[in-house]
Chain A
Amino acid sequence: MLMQLTLGGLSQGMIYALIALSLTVVYRSTTVVNFGHGDFVMAGAFLSYVLVVLAGVAFLPAAALAMIAMFVLGVMFNRGLIRPIRGGPHIGLALMCIAAGYLLRGIARMVWGREVLPMPPVFDMAPIFVGDLVITGDAVFIIGTVLVLLLLFFGLMALTDLGKMVQAVYQSPRGARLIGLNVDRFNDFSWGVGAALGALGGILVAPVSLLHPDLGASFLIKGFAAMTLGGFGSLGGAVLGGVLLGIAEQYAGAYLDTALIEITAYVVIVAVLFIRPQGLFGRKAVVKV
């Protein structure tokens, strides 16, 4: 029972980890928190649905196409809407992100209407039985994909200059510019990567859940909870926070009350910010007042 819950939580938590990581990528390199990120996740799911079900493309190429499209969308969003108001107050930036999310949601609802759509299963694999433990194809696929991706991501960060560039831009955009880094293009790139990674979260949940235009809202909160738990701004913390949140949800649902699954994330946010605002790995989040 415990193992089964942990596996379920791990598979869910991997998605949260991916979303929190993509939020953190954008935050670390542009200091903007994307309050519309949930809808980027939804858009990923939506695009893969359209490509698979309506256009008849196979799942894997459809996923790749959707991620490329979301990368481009992320870059366009940064260039067209974020850059013009960069110098302004953070309230404006937060609202702009929410507005972008609503545009995506509006487009999705225009096409989808008010329906809730199931996507045909993609990972049609007979479940594996290990003792009492049932390992589904979905779980294998989700955990596997995210693990490979995380290895790739953190490997690139460690082995190339990317990690240093992120750090440089985060600490001082002006300094980064002085040493010859094209900060504008770097920001574009980060928005693209953030949007594509978030979209992948949506693509992975698409086959295992019901799709509707509002599915992003809850993922946004889960992403925030994972970030807060791991430590706001910490890349590794975002991943660990996501995994822990996924597992915590399953435990809370099984041992306390199923209704608690939905609010575990909110409780985590409130509790962490009040008790240990720096999370597990982050820097201090509160200011002295």
Chain B
Amino acid sequence: MSQIMPSARQRKTRTLLFWAVPAVLLLLPLTTNPYTQFIANGMLVSVLVTLGFTLTIGNLGQLAFANTAFFGIGAYSSAILAAKLGVPWLLTIPLAGAFGALGGFLASAAALRGIRTYYLAIITLAFGELMRWAYLHAKPLTGGTDGMPMPRETLLGISLTDDTLKFYIFLAVTVLLVKATLNLMRSHFGRAVMAVRENEIATASLAIPTARVILVTFMWSGFVVGCAGALFARHVGHVFPESFGMLHLIASFAMVLVGGLGSVLGAVLGAVLLTALPEYLRAFPGMEELFFGLIVAGVLVAMPMGLASLLRRVSPIFVERFYREAP
């Protein structure tokens, strides 16, 4: 199938669409009840988690499962910075991102040692579980099984427990990071990331520093997911080790797959669709696992390219790669 690129006019429509979505969302808190607002906040967190994940497993094509580790690192560093050092929470967001990027650096170190495919999957799984062990056992810092409550804080006179205030902050962070990631993936760097996935050896022959491409992709993925961790800490108000276990991993997989591997738009769609439903399933033991298991298996067999590819067929507006030619 040929790839049809959007025309100049369609690209303008797309830019308009991109900014229209958050603009409309600004009105959301006026029309919802507190519970829906809480779910909407959770969706924004999921969008960032899925976005970071799809970069490494979709765009870069590496079987790396360290996403849950980045998320936990982000959440705990935000909680620790806020609770133990009194750093204002807003400021902990980029700092949590930086710690997440450090996690990304460690994961890429494995990939750059030549540990790939199943070995990379296994070592990154071990990384995630080691982090969870650390949250459980570094009691003075993390509170162990009791977890860590986020400190009370106000912003502009409003308590940071207020879901509407959180929504606006989450929305701003999410839009910024989605936009930056889109810029990155549509640039020559994003092209190099896909080139590494397609043929790493040939990529190096084009004067592309493949090791740096892998390193930077993992670190950016860690940064985005680390920021998501900081949002999550505020979202639930209390950080527990269990939040960063295997269930979180499969939920992220499902979101990435439903949207379509390696698609920014897909990450957003998958996260939005799959955040709300499990909230309602949580009351029934086992349903969450069954739900995500069925979704992943079903998508793999029936729709391996995800929703984003369906949309792409509807209109070239949804093709994510494009060339910014001089006007």
Chain A residues proximal to chain B, CB less than 8 Å: 33, 35, 81, 84-85, 88-92, 94-96, 98-103, 105-114, 213-214, 217, 221, 224-225, 228, 232, 259, 262-263, 265-267, 269-270, 273-274, 277, 285-289
The size of the chain B interface, using a CB distance under 8 A, is 50
| Cβ-defined contact, A114 with B285, below 8 A | yes
8 Å CB contact of A99 from B130, B286, B297:
B297
With A100-B297, A273-B119 given, is the CB distance from A289 to B137 under 8 Å? no
With A102-B290, A107-B290, A286-B119 given, is the CB distance from A270 to B126 under 8 Å? yes
What's the Cα separation between A111 and B21 when bound, in Å?
43
Q: In terms of DSSP, what is the predominant structure of the interface of chain A?
A: helix
| Cβ-defined contact, B285 with A110, below 8 A | yes
Closest chain-A Cβ to B106's Cβ sits at a distance in Å of: 10
What's the Cα separation between A273 and B246 when bound, in Å?
22
**Residue of chain B at shortest CB distance from A265:** B126
8 Å CB contact of A103 from B121, B261, B297, B304:
B297
**Residue of chain B at shortest CB distance from A33:** B118
CB-defined contacts of B284 to chain A, threshold 8 Å = 110
Q: In terms of DSSP, what is the predominant structure of the interface of chain B?
A: helix
| Cβ-defined contact, B115 with A103, below 8 A | no
| Cβ-defined contact, A106 with B288, below 8 A | yes
What's the Cα separation between A277 and B118 when bound, in Å?
12
CB-defined contacts of A101 to chain B, threshold 8 Å = 293
Q: Decide if B114 is an interface residue (CB 8 Å cutoff).
A: yes
For chain B, residues 106 to 133, give those with C-beta under 8 angstroms from any C-beta of chain A. Answer: 110-119, 121-123, 125-127, 129-130, 133
What's the Cα separation between A92 and B130 when bound, in Å?
25
CB-defined contacts of A259 to chain B, threshold 8 Å = 133, 137
CB-defined contacts of B285 to chain A, threshold 8 Å = 109-110, 112-114
| Cβ-defined contact, B300 with A95, below 8 A | yes
CB-defined contacts of B293 to chain A, threshold 8 Å = 99-103, 105-106
CB-defined contacts of A232 to chain B, threshold 8 Å = 118-119
What's the Cα separation between A114 and B242 when bound, in Å?
15
